[in-house]
Amino acid sequence: MSLEIVLAIIVTSIATYSSRFLGTVTSEKIDENSKIYRWFNCLAYSTLAALISRVLIFPNGDLIDTSYLMRVVVIISAILIFYITKRNLVYPTVFSAIILAIISNYFG
């Protein structure tokens, strides 16, 4: 590997892991019931809702070839999986890709 690639990996690793380290060090002082924490939580959920809406209404790339009905079915099933798995984000993310692939291949 060239020196530039190694330096890029080192710099990005330092930036990533230093922010995570500082987050873990300062996380003990955060009150989960504070107004600012709840505001950031609402901000994160609203951003996620906006991104999901954007994907549904204005798709890019390969999603352009899928119908609105397919995308709605995938999003509703992902939301159901989210609540069934006690608000775990990993399962709906993985299964939404699988469900979209299955629906696209058999019904698209």
* Res 31: pLDDT: 83
* Res 1: pLDDT: 61
52 lies in the same domain as 92: yes
Domain total in the chain: 2
Query: Residue 11 has which token pair?
Result: 């710099």
State the amino acid at position 9 in one-letter form.
I
Biggest alpha carbon–alpha carbon distance for the chain = 51
* Res 7: pLDDT: 92
Percent of the chain, pLDDT > 70?
98
22 lies in the same domain as 45: no
35 lies in the same domain as 20: no
Q: How does pLDDT run across 42-62, given as a tens digit for each residue?
A: 999 999 889 988 988 898 888
Q: 88: Cβ–Cβ under 8 A, 6 or more apart, which residues?
A: 82
Question: Is 55 exposed, middle or buried, given 0-12, 13-18 or 19+ CB atoms closer than 10 A?
Answer: middle
Q: Residue holding tokens 């159901």?
A: 80
Residue 3 belongs to domain spanning: 1-30
